[in-house]
Amino acid sequence: MKRRAFIAGAAAACSVPLATSAVPYIPPQPDTGGPGLDARARRSGRRFGCAIKSGQLAKDPAFTAAVLREAGTIVQEYELKRHVTQPRPGRYDFSGNDKLVDFAQKHGLAARGHTLVWYSNNPPWLAAALPGARGRARDTLLTGYIETAMRRYAGRIGEWDVVNEPVEPNQGRADGMRAQNIWGQAFGENYIDLAFHSARAADPRARLFLTDFGLEHASRRCEARRTAILKLLERALSRRVPIDALGIQGHLKPFREPFDERTFARFLDEVRGMGLGIAITEMDIADRGGPQALEPRDAQVAAVGKAFLDVALANPATSSVLTWGLSDRYSWLSTYPEYRWPDGKPSRGLPLDSDLRRKRLWASMAAAFDAAPPARKGAR
Ligand code: 9MR
C-alpha cells in the first residue's frame, strides 16, 4: 500500500470510537500464503470455522478450496432450520445438511448444528399446530425435531445450537425474554428446559449451546440484551438445565454502536464464572456506515475484529470462533436491507474478499489467534 493511504487508514482507524486500547491497532497487510485461520486457532487449543451452504460446495470449487484452507469446523447457514428440514409434519428432508456433514467427514472437519429451536424459520404447519396442542402432543412438536436431528447426526455433529435467540428486551417483557416467540407463547420459559433435556438425552456426548446476538457492543441495546441473557442463564442453571456453553453470535456493527473491550470482557467473565463455555458462533462485521474508500474502511473493520477477538480469546472458556460465511462473495450482509450498500457493492465484513483474497480482517484475526493465551482444556 502507498504510505499516504496507510497513514490515512491508520488515522481513520484511530478515529472510530471502538476500543479502549491506549495504542490503536493498525492491522498489517495480509500475507497471501501461510497457514489458515484454523491452523492459527489451534495454536491456543481452539478452532476456527465458518458457515456454508451445500450449493456453494457444489458450484464453487475455488470457494470450497478456500474453506478447506481456512476452516477446521463448519456450520450450516440455513440447512438445518425447520422450514427446510420439516416442510410437512412428520416428513424430514435432511438432504442439504447430509451433503455438508459428508463434506466435513470427508475432509476431517468438525461440524456444528444450527439450530434446533428458534422463533424464526419454522414451517407454517408448525406455527399453526402449536397454539392448539396440549400435553405430550405439544411437547413432541418441540422435542421430536431435536431427537430426530441429533440422533441422525450423533457422532458427526459434536455441538448444537439448541436454543437460538431467546431474548429480546425491546419486545416489552420485564424478564427480557422474546415475546414474539411461538415456543415461549406455548410453553413459557419451560421450552428451554424441555429443549435442553431432550437434547442431552438424544446425544449425551454433544455439547449444547444457547446462542444469541446483540451481546457485543457498549450500547444500551446490547447492555439490556446482556442483562437478559445473564438472568436467563442464571435461572436456567439454577433449575439444572443442561446448557454447556453460550454462543455469542458476533454480528458486529461498529459504525452504529461502539465496542468497548472492558465491557465485553466483564460479560465474558460473568459467563465463564457460571461454569459455561463460550464460542463466537457467527462473527462478521457490518461495514455499512463506514468510509466509502476501501482502505480506511477495511482498516477499521480489521481493527474492530482484532479488538473483539483479543477479548474473546483472552478468556480461557472461549473454545472456537466461526464467521458467518468466509468470503464477501457470499455474505448475508450484502443482502440484508439494513446492512447492504445501496450501490450494490458487496459488504466487506468477512476475512476473504469477493475474489477469495485474504483481507486486513483476515490478518487481524490471524494476529489475534497467534497472540491468544491457551484455551481451557477439556471444556464440555
Ligand atoms: O445467513 C442466514 C440467511 O442466509 C438465512 O436466509 C437466514 C434465515 O434462515 O438466516 C441467516 O442466518 C442467521 C442465523 O441463522 C441466526 N443469526 C443471524 C443470522 C443472520 O441473519
Say if ligand 1 is within 6 A of residue 77 CB: yes
In-domain check, residue 15: no
Q: For residue range 137-165, list pLDDT tens digits in order.
A: 999 999 999 999 999 999 999 999 999 99
Residue nearest to atom 12 of ligand 1 (CA): 77
In-domain check, residue 380: no
In-domain check, residue 297: yes
Q: Mean pLDDT, the chain, as a whole number?
A: 93
Residue nearest to atom 2 of ligand 1 (CA): 77
CATH value at residue 274: 3.20.20.80
CB neighbours of residue 6 within 10 Å:
15
Taking the C-alpha atoms of residue 305 and residue 187, their distance in angstroms, rounded to an integer, is 38
Say if ligand 1 is within 6 A of residue 79 CB: no
Q: For residue range 244-257, list pLDDT tens digits in order.
A: 999 999 999 999 99
Residue 292, phi-psi category: left (phi > 0), alpha (psi -120 to 50), beta (remainder): alpha
Taking the C-alpha atoms of residue 351 and residue 374, their distance in angstroms, rounded to an integer, is 23
- Of 76, 241, 230, the closest CA to residue 167 belongs to 230
Q: How confident is the model at residue 4 (pLDDT cuts 50, 70, 90)?
A: very low
Q: Is the pLDDT of residue 2 over 80?
A: no
Boundaries of domain holding 185: 3-9+23-371
Q: For residue range 73-115, list pLDDT tens digits in order.
A: 999 999 999 999 999 998 999 999 999 999 999 999 999 999 9
Say if ligand 1 is within 6 A of residue 81 CB: yes
Percentage of the chain with pLDDT > 70?
Answer: 92
Nearest 5°: CA angle at 294, between 289 and 300? 60
Q: Is the pLDDT of residue 59 over 90?
A: yes
Say if ligand 1 is within 6 A of residue 76 CB: no
Nearest 5°: CA angle at 315, between 282 and 367? 70
pTM of the model: 0.94
In-domain check, residue 116: yes
70 CA → ligand 1 middle, Å = 21
At 32 the pLDDT is 64
In-domain check, residue 18: no
Q: For residue range 296-331, list pLDDT tens digits in order.
A: 999 999 999 999 999 999 999 999 999 999 999 999
Ligand 1 atom nearest 115 alpha carbon: 15
In-domain check, residue 303: yes
Residue nearest to atom 20 of ligand 1 (CA): 332
CB neighbours of residue 344 within 10 Å:
7
121 CA → ligand 1 middle, Å = 9
Torsion angle in degrees (nearest 10) through CA of 341, 343, 344, 346: -50
Percentage of the chain with pLDDT > 90?
Answer: 90
Q: Is the pLDDT of residue 219 over 50?
A: yes
Q: Going by DSSP bridges, is the β-strand pair 159-164/245-248 parallel, antiparallel, or unpaired?
A: unpaired
At 8 the pLDDT is 34
In-domain check, residue 379: no
Q: How confident is the model at residue 353 (pLDDT cuts 50, 70, 90)?
A: very high
Residue nearest to atom 7 of ligand 1 (CA): 78
Q: Is the pLDDT of residue 55 over 60?
A: yes
Q: Give the count of domains, the chain.
A: 1
Say if ligand 1 is within 6 A of residue 121 CB: yes
Spatial contact of 237 and 226, defined as CB atoms under 8 Å apart: no
- Of 4, 9, 2, the closest CA to residue 293 belongs to 9
Which of 53, 253, 332 to mutate for ligand 1's pocket (most ligand atoms within 8 Å of CB)?
332
Task: Compute the average pLDDT of residues 223-251.
Answer: 98
In-domain check, residue 47: yes
Q: Is the pLDDT of residue 243 over 90?
A: yes
Which of 56, 167, 210, 324 to mutate for ligand 1's pocket (most ligand atoms within 8 Å of CB)?
324
At 24 the pLDDT is 66
